[in-house]
Amino acid sequence: MPEDIVDGTVPVEEPQGEFQGEPVENTVTDDVAADDSKPEIHEISCSNCGAPLTYMEGEAVITCEYCGTTTMLAGYDNIVTVESHYLLPPKVGRDEAIGIASGWLKKGFYKSKELPNKVSWRETEARVLPYWIVRCTGNTRWSGQQKRTRTIGEGKNKRTETYWEPVQGRINDNYTWPVYAREDTSEFWGIRNMEPGQQCVFPDWGKFILRIGGSKKAPNKNLLEGKMDFSIDELKKLNMQEHIINGQIVQERAEASARNRIIELHQQQAESKATKVTDIDTTIDVQGVDLVYVPIWELIYSFAGKDYHVLVDASRQEVLSGEAPVGKWAKATIFDIVFLLIAAIFAAIGGTADGAAWPWIVAGVFGGSAIAYSIWTATMKE
């Protein structure tokens, strides 16, 4: 296990790119390249070790799988080495990742405890994903109007009136804002689910209609936590060096994207504090932009003829996102609670209504259904 993990503090230095002289770019012409839909493959040589680096059209952040140097193509005449370059060191291989996912599969009210024994693991894919982390401070001053009400007058003349009151405020926050370094967040399963606030746990209810709870939202976490200087050897330990995904978004664009997102966020925060915001000004101070590679395992398992995904963080050793069938007893419990509640309401009506039989009959039907569903659940296979 790697011990030389750099602690939480981040060196405050502008990641200055180094100009690497003449760009060495040549296109590997493919004989079958007649097909326009195929992305073109290009090649440059690693500025550090000279190894050939192949990359797809559109990729601009390329990491050498031999020495770990990352080259950024920021325009045709500007090839730079990314200096501020980190890795969340992977700690688990394929089998351990399946172990972590299996542990997750039996955890919680919604999943069957037997589930890990009944699934078959079909596909496992390692990926080392590129993220830009924009370290910055966002400062906002805003002013606006707040609608208020007050009561005026006495006795018969008493009435409420609305009036506007000027309000203002400041927002001041530090961020380590993550920007996924690729254009398409849907090319790999689960990338979007890792974004703070997005749904990351997806229960599969099948045909069951009373779908109460079971989903979860991704927490807001600092991707720089637990980082170390990028080391190709750490990836080689678990054979993940061949699974580095090149970035497509260069540093400048990542910075601009983070700025926009923070301006939007502050706008929303200001709007939540005033009925209308009339004036808002945000300044963002960028302290630095780091490239961090996050190793993950994408696992696919099948259960009862269906495929489900689980994404495991290979560094933090936890499930980032996952899909799982809801267990039969979770469904039975929900069914029984809902139906017994309805039965209780009708029984209460039966208690107050003057001798009417129908509320008791309805209560009996719902109560009986709950019991019948439990019996049926016991006989049915998971």
Closest separation between CB of residue 22 and Zn ion, Å? 18
- Phi/psi for 129 (5° steps) reads -95, 135
Closest separation between CB of residue 67 and Zn ion, Å? 3
Secondary structure (DSSP) of 304-369 = TTEEEEEEEETTTTEEEEEEEEPPHHHHHHHHHHHHHHHHHHHHHHHHHSSS-SHHHHHHHHHHHH
In 3D, which of 191, 135, 132 has the Cα closest to residue 8?
135
CA angle 142, 143, 145 (to 5 degrees): 145
Nearer to Zn ion, 46 or 115 (CB): 46
Nearer to Zn ion, 101 or 244 (CB): 244
In 3D, which of 61, 83, 63 has the Cα closest to residue 74?
61
Closest separation between CB of residue 64 and Zn ion, Å? 3
Amino acid letter, 124 = T
Beta strands, E only, the chain? 18-19, 26-27, 41-45, 52-56, 61-63, 70-73, 79-81, 85-87, 120-152, 159-180, 199-204, 216-217, 228-229, 276-303, 306-313, 318-325
Nearer to Zn ion, 47 or 112 (CB): 47
- Phi/psi for 240 (5° steps) reads -100, -5
Closest separation between CB of residue 293 and Zn ion, Å? 15
Nearer to Zn ion, 66 or 329 (CB): 66
Nearer to Zn ion, 52 or 103 (CB): 52
Contact at 8 Å (CB) between 246 and 63?
yes
Amino acid letter, 232 = I
Nearer to Zn ion, 64 or 320 (CB): 64
Nearer to Zn ion, 66 or 360 (CB): 66
List residues near Zn ion by CB under 5 A: 46, 48-49, 51, 64, 66-67, 69
Cα within 13 Å of Cα(182), Cβ side: 19
Nearer to Zn ion, 293 or 301 (CB): 293
Nearer to Zn ion, 232 or 345 (CB): 232
CA angle 316, 233, 131 (to 5 degrees): 50
The two three-digit tokens of residue 78, written as one number: 């500007």
| For helices 328-352 and 358-379, angle between their N-to-C axes, nearest 10 degrees | 170
Closest separation between CB of residue 98 and Zn ion, Å? 32
Closest separation between CB of residue 66 and Zn ion, Å? 5
Distance of CA 184 to the CA centre of its chain: 14
Amino acid letter, 244 = I
Closest separation between CB of residue 47 and Zn ion, Å? 8
Closest separation between CB of residue 13 and Zn ion, Å? 23
Closest separation between CB of residue 16 and Zn ion, Å? 20
If residue 232 lies in a helix (H) or strand (E), which one and from where to where? helix 232-237
